[in-house]
Amino acid sequence: MSDNKIFVGIRPTRSGRRSATQEPTGPKCQWEGCESAGTHRAPVGGAADGLYLMFCAGHSRQYNKGYDYSPSKSDPVVARYQLDAAAGRIPARGVRTHHQALETPLPSSIPSGSAKSLKARGKAVQPTGTISLRKLRPLEAQAFDTLALPRDATADDIKRRYKERLKLDHPDANSGDRQSEDRLRGTINAYRILKGSGFC
């Protein structure tokens, strides 16, 4: 068959051996000082979940050996790569994953079901961020009135108003007026009451 005229002029185009110098192409290994191709992905983890670095096979093994999802538990060398990638000092690939806290789904705008089930569903989806106003004792209510603050004032609001009133009611700012001394005393007492009750 090999003497057939059709096959006589055909020669193999490939040499039987592969080139020994052929190396994989792609991005460079991100290990400091390495010139090899980065062919293996290595996860950053922690605050940069979803991002990864590219290392050669040897450095990928070394990275994985000392890797922990939390950089504080990783090998110090690996942790440095994780922290640098998370901070953007080393370019990382991929997309950062944001883990969102599970939120209560919004109720449907079209009510369905009995009145009892609607009421129960309404209670279940009440927003957790609302602050319920606690019942004030008479002295606490009077302290809010003295500082001219609403009942739902934050700690920062209370401190800010207290500092404002100290400056306004100080006798030196009012030419030694006796009434300003009484107002100053009332402001100080009101702040002490609110501070003692844990409002600021």
Radius of gyration for the chain, computed over Cα atoms and rounded to the nearest angstrom: 36
Report field, pTM of the whole predicted structure over 0.85: no
User: For the chain, what is the mean pLDDT?
Assistant: 77
pLDDT in tens, 83-96: 888 888 888 888 87
Q: Is the separation of the CB atoms in 42 and 90 below 8 Å?
A: no
| Residue range 30-39: mean pLDDT, rounded | 90
Residue 100 pLDDT > 80, yes or no?
A: no
Q: Which of 66-75, 79-88, 96-105, 186-195 has the lowest mean pLDDT?
A: 96-105
Q: Which of 62-66, 99-103, 121-125 has the lowest mean pLDDT?
A: 99-103
Quote the CA–CA distance of 190 and 196 in Å, as a whole number: 10
- Reduced 3-state DSSP string for the chain: CCCCHHHHCCCCCCCCCCCCCCCCCCCECCCCCCCCECCEEEEEECCEEEEEEEECHHHHHHHHHCCCCCHHHCCHHHHHHHHHHHHCCCCCEECCCCCCCCCCCCCCCCCCCCHHHHHHHHHHCCCCCCCCCCCCCHHHHHHHHHCCCCCCCCHHHHHHHHHHHHHHHCHHHHCCCHHHHHHHHHHHHHHHHHHHCCCC
Q: Please list, in sequence order, all residues whose beta carbon lies within 8 angstroms of the beta carbon of residue 162, skipping any fewer than 6 positions away.
A: 147, 187, 191
> In this structure, are strands 93-94 and 48-55 parallel, antiparallel, or unpaired?
antiparallel
Residue 57 or residue 50, greater confidence: 57
Q: Is the separation of the CB atoms in 31 and 56 below 8 Å?
A: yes
Residue 124 or residue 144, greater confidence: 144
Residue 5 pLDDT > 60, yes or no?
A: yes
Residue 89 or residue 17, greater confidence: 89
Residue 22 pLDDT > 90, yes or no?
A: no
